[in-house]
A = this chain, B = another copy of it.
Amino acid sequence: MTGATTAMAGCVPLAAPALSNEEAEATARLFAALGDPHRVKIVNLLATSPEPVCICNLIGPLGLAQPTVSHHMKKLVEAGLLEREQRGKWAFFSLNHEAVSKLAGLIDLEGKSR
């Protein structure tokens, strides 16, 4: 399935894509982590909180069941945007500011010269 059936007749190909498949997939994974409104709210809550927040403090504001919140937290941690810290029976989460900066820089790269 290479596509490109008979459609691109008189078309001159541009320069080869600058991003590798792996780079594109990694970037997409990062953006996809923020592609859900509930996860955006979670990140916003953590960004506006001076202290780490536990899951039980997120269930109410989000209006989601506890397993669903756990699911979103896992996605955000796997994306590298959040850090998880166990305190007794509570799981506290905080923003990984380094990852957020890296994400912002990624967009700058995309919008400027690379």
Contact = CB atoms under 8 A, between A and B. Distances in A.
A63 B110 contact: no
Contact of A16 (B24, B36, B61): B61
Nearest to A90: B11
A40 B107 CA distance: 11
Given A8-B60, A57-B12, A103-B107, A21 B37 contact: yes
Interface residues of A, number: 63
A87 interface: no
Contacts of A104: 104, 107-108, 111
Contacts of A64: 3
A14 B108 contact: no
Contacts of A60: 3-4, 8, 11, 13
